[in-house]
C-alpha cells in the first residue's frame, strides 16, 4: 500500500497511535493522538513519552519491560491526565515492534501504543440526554415568555393612551408603567431567544473574533489582558457571523465578569479532524477556546449552567449561555466547559461543512 494511503488511514482513525523509539521518544503519531493530548505534531515529535502528559496510571517501568522482554501489555480503564489537566479514561495497548533491519529508515520504532478513549461513548450519551433536558427547559421558558408578551403589549399601549389624557403630575405614574413594561419587554425578548433567520455565508472566523475583541475593548478594565492564539491555516467557514458573534460575546463577557478587575483571557482557534458533535461525526471542525484565569464556575451551577435563568451573579439574567448554546446549536455545534479555580475554559466546536 502506498504510504500516503497508509497515513490517510492512520489519520482518520479514532484510536490514538503513537510509535516510540528505544529511548521512549515519539517517532510517529497520528492525528487522533494530537487531539487526545491537545498537542501539535511538532510538539509531539521527538518528545519523551512522559512529557506528553501530566500523569498516566500505567507506570513507566511497564513500558521499559516491553522493550526488554518483547512482551506487550494491555491496560484497560487506565487514567490519563493530560498537560491541560483533563482527566480521561483510556484503554491502552503497548506492543513491541519487530525490528526491520533491512530498512534503516523504518527501524527506529520499537513500541507501538494504541490509546482508545473509553469514556467518549458514555460522554456522548450523557451529552444527548443533557441536550434534551435543556431543550425542555428552554421550551418552557419560551412558552411562558410568549404568554407574557401579548398582554404586556396591551398594557403598555393602554398606559400610553392614558398618559396623553393625564395632567403633568399624574403622568409620572404612567411614565413609570411604560418604563417598567419596556424593561420587562426586553427580558421577554431575550427569553424568546434568537430568531431563526440565518444569514449563512463563508466567513473568516478570525475577522469575527477581532470584531468581538474590538467591541469588548471599549470598556475593558485596564488590568484585563486579552490574548489571541489563532491558527492562521483555518479555512473560511459557513456561518451566520452575527449569531456566532453574539454567542462568543456572551461567553467572553462572562469571562470578563469572572476575572473581575484583573486577569487574563485567551482566545484560541484550532482545527480538528473527526469530531463527534451531538452524536454526529464530522470530518473537520473548528474549535474556539475561551480561557480565563478567574475563580472558576461554582459547583452548584455546573449541572445546569446552560439552562435559561441560571445565574451566579446578582445582576445576571442567566440567559447568556442559554442563548449562546442555541446559536451554536443552530450551526450544528456544541459548547462544553472545564473549570477549576484559576482556569475556566469554554470550547465551542463548530463543524466545517463543505458545500
Ligand atoms: N468564565 C466563567 N467563570 C466563572 N463563572 C462563570 C463563567 N461563565 C459563566 N459563569 C457562571 O455562569 C452563570 C451563567 O452565565 P450566563 O451568561 O448564562 O448568565 P449571566 O452572565 O448570569 O447573565 P446574562 O449573561 O444573561 O447577563 C454566571 O452567572 C456565572 O456565575
Ligand atoms: Mg452572561
Residue 247 and residue 185 in one domain: no
C-alpha cell at 211: 470584531
CA of 216 to the centre of ligand 1 (A): 16
> 105 and 141: one domain?
no
pLDDT band for position 163 (cuts 50, 70, 90): very high
For residue 62, the domain's CATH number is 3.30.450.20
Mean pLDDT in residue range 200-209: 94
Q: Which pLDDT belongs to residue 15?
A: 92
| Residue 262 φ then ψ, to 5° | -145, 130
Same domain (yes/no): 339, 231 = yes
Residue 244's domain is classified under what CATH number? 3.30.565.10
Among 192, 219, 248, where does a domain finish?
Answer: 192
172 and 40 in a common domain: no
Choosing from 117, 139, 157, the residue where a domain stops is 117
Residues 221 and 112 in one domain: no
Domain count, the chain: 3
The percentage of the chain sitting over the pLDDT mark of 70, rounded to a whole number, equals 95
Question: Measured in Å, how far apart are the chain's first and last C-alpha atoms?
Answer: 31
Q: Which atom of ligand 1 is nearest to the CA of 322?
A: 18
296 and 215 assigned to the same domain: yes
Give CA separation, 62 vs 47, 58, 59, 65, in Å.
19, 7, 6, 5
pLDDT at residue number 26: 96
pTM exceeding 0.75: no
Structural domain ending residue among the three candidates 117, 139, 160: 117
Indicate whether 318 and 182 sit together in one domain.
no
Task: List the grid coordinates of 278.
Answer: 451531538
* Spatial CA neighbour of 237 closest among 278, 216, 273, 207: 207
Looking at residue 227, the DSSP 8-state letter turns out to be E
Are residues 247 and 145 part of one domain? no
Residue 108 sits in the same domain as residue 129: no
Task: Identify the residue whose C-alpha is closest to ligand 1 atom 19.
Answer: 318
**349, β-bridge pairs:** 287, 334
- Best residue for ligand 1 mutational test, from 248, 259, 318, 342 (most atoms within 8 Å of Cβ): 318
Domain, as residue range, for 84: 3-117
* Closest-approaching ligand to the CA atom of 291: 1
Task: Mention every residue, 6+ apart, whose C-beta is less than 8 A from residue 106.
Answer: 100
Amino acid at each position: 500500500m502506498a504510504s500516503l494511503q497508509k497515513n490517510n488511514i492512520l489519520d482518520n482513525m479514532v484510536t490514538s497511535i503513537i510509535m516510540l523509539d528505544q529511548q521512549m521518544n515519539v517517532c510517529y503519531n497520528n492525528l487522533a493522538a494530537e487531539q487526545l493530548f491537545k498537542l501539535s505534531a511538532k510538539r509531539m515529535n521527538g518528545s519523551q513519552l512522559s512529557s506528553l502528559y501530566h500523569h498516566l496510571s500505567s507506570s513507566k517501568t511497564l513500558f521499559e519491560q516491553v522493550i526488554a522482554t518483547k512482551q506487550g501489555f494491555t491496560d484497560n480503564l487506565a487514567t490519563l491526565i493530560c498537560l491541560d489537566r483533563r482527566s480521561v479514561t483510556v484503554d491502552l495497548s503497548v506492543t513491541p515492534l519487530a525490528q526491520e533491519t533491512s530498512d534503516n529508515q523504518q527501524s527506529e520504532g520499537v513500541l507501538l501504543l494504541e490509546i482508545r478513549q473509553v469514556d467518549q461513548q458514555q460522554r456522548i450519551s450523557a451529552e444527548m440526554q443533557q441536550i434534551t433536558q435543556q431543550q425542555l427547559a428552554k421550551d418552557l421558558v419560551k412558552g411562558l415568555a410568549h404568554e407574557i408578551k401579548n398582554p404586556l403589549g396591551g398594557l403598555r399601549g393602554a398606559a400610553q393612551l392614558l398618559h396623553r389624557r393625564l395632567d403633568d403630575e399624574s403622568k409620572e405614574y404612567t411614565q413609570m408603567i411604560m418604563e417598567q413594561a419596556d424593561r420587562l419587554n426586553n427580558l421577554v425578548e431575550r427569553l424568546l431567544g434568537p430568531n431563526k433567520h440565518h444569514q449563512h455565508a463563508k466567513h473568516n472566523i478570525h475577522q469575527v473574533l477581532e470584531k468581538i475583541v474590538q467591541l469588548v475593548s471599549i470598556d475593558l478594565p485596564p488590568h484585563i489582558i486579552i490574548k489571541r492564539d489563532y491558527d492562521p491555516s483555518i479555512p473560511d467557514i459557513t456561518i451566520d457571523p452575527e449569531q456566532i458573534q453574539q454567542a462568543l460575546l456572551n461567553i467572553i463577557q462572562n469571562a470578563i465578569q469572572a476575572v473581575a478587575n484583573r486577569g487574563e483571557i485567551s482566545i484560541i482557534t484550532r482545527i480538528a479532524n473527526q469530531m463527534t458533535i451531538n452524536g454526529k461525526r464530522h470530518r473537520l471542525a473548528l474549535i474556539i477556546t475561551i480561557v480565563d484565569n478567574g475563580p472558576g464556575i461554582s459547583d452548584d451551577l455546573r449541572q445546569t449552567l446552560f439552562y435559561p435563568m441560571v445565574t451566579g451573579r446578582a445582576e445576571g439574567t442567566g440567559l447568556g449561555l442559554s442563548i449562546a448554546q442555541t446559536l451554536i446549536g443552530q450551526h450544528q455545534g456544541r459548547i462544553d466547559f472545564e473549570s477549576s479555580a484559576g482556569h475556566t475554559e469554554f470550547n465551542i466546536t463548530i463543524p466545517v461543512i463543505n458545500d
